Amino acid sequence: MNWSNYKKCSLVLLLGGIDVLLWIIWWYFSEAKVDIQPWINQAFYPTYIRMLSFATIGFFALIFLIRSLKKISIFEKIIPYITIAYFGTIFIYGAYCIGIFSPASTAGFVSLITVGLVLFERRVVYLTVIPISGFMLICIVLSLTGQIRYAPIFSEELLVMPLYRNAFWVYCMLYFYIPIFFASLVLFEVLLTQWRKREKMIEQVSIIDPLTGIFNRRKISENIDMLKQQQSSFAIVLLDLDYFKDINDKYGHDIGDIVLQQVAGILTENIHEEDIVGRFGGEEFIILTRGGQLAKAIDIAERCRKAIEKEVILLDTQRKISITASFGVAASINPFGITKEEIIRQADQALYLAKKNGRNQVRHFLEIKITHSMESKQVI
């Protein structure tokens, strides 16, 4: 949970205080009913209510203490130990009073330890839970040997009969465990929501370029692999901003970042819905189109080139920047006939051809073969 120790401890103490307050209410109304009085140990009842009242005050006093001392750094380190120790002691006392072997005690103990391990560091939980568990074992041994009374809040008349046949005892077990169950459920739901949110954020960070907000090279590579697995043809458009280094050198990297963001927006606006765009590295971008149609990919590249050429970035009232980009296009008509690396290399070679022939233009991989063929004839 992405909370400070103060918030976690305050939450645990608040829930503990409310739960013990519910115990007091239960016993107060139960003792007031004549038909239930025979099942309650009247001699122990005043002591029990007094202890629960002090425990409730203790919970809220600790919350006040946390709010008062939260600016002290050392206190933040020790408050989890104090919180778990106090919480555990009170609930073990409550478990002893209703029966250390009772379903509510056993299920509540397991639920609370599980929640504690999720909320706090394991070291904190173990260093406090182990002594509390030892105290619980002592209570069990003393109860079994008859040295202390088992479930002292209940009368002897109730304890000698089969407990599950006594409606009051059954209702007690339900009443004492249900608040713990729902509190644990709420805490786990909060934790799961935070974990899902964090997982989604990590996933976004792993596939999104933080500067431009479009896909990064890794995500584009995954999409290409997916298309090849689906035996789908595709085309790749690589583009590189012309003279981008000069922009960085002349105006600074902040302006260069703005240029990259503007270009990312232009590319996103000028591709089809089924196509994706990503940052390939530095001032290079990549567009992945489905279908493997070279003419379609060239048309998208030309549309993006014109949009970038028209873009004007205003630095102030008197200065502005115009940018252009060179494009290289390659298509994979047969996904099994060419590897991902080969088609990217073809697009890169076409991009190099565009740079070599004056920049601010779109060239495709078939022109490379034509150019090589013409050069070979000239040599002959």
* Mean pLDDT, residues 344-371: 89
Q: How confident is the model at residue 319 (pLDDT cuts 50, 70, 90)?
A: confident
Find the DSSP H helices in 33-72. 45-69
Question: What is the reported pLDDT for 1?
Answer: 62
In the chain, what are the domain boundaries? Answer: 5-206, 217-379
216, pLDDT greater than 90: yes
pLDDT tens digits, one per residue of 234-270: 999 999 999 999 999 998 999 999 999 999 999 999 9
**Chain centroid to CA 93: how far?**
37
217-379 has CATH 3.30.70.270 classification: yes
133, pLDDT greater than 70: yes
Distance from the first to the final alpha carbon of the chain: 73
Of 76, 283, 309, 311, which residue is the catalytic one?
283
Is 341 an active-site residue? no
pLDDT tens digits, one per residue of 141-178: 888 888 888 899 999 999 888 888 889 999 999 999 98
Of the two residues 135 and 27, the one the predictor is more confident about is: 27
Mean per-residue pLDDT over the chain, rounded? 87
Q: How confident is the model at residue 335 (pLDDT cuts 50, 70, 90)?
A: low
Kindly calculate the radius of gyration of the chain based on its CA atoms and give it in whole angstroms.
36
* Mean pLDDT, residues 58-66: 93
370, pLDDT greater than 50: yes
Name the pTM for this structure.
Answer: 0.62
373, pLDDT greater than 50: no
* Mean pLDDT, residues 120-142: 83
Find the DSSP H helices in 233-339. 244-251, 253-269, 294-310
- Write a three-state SS string for 298-317: HHHHHHHHHHHHHCEEECCC
Report the 10 Å Cβ neighbour count for 111: 18
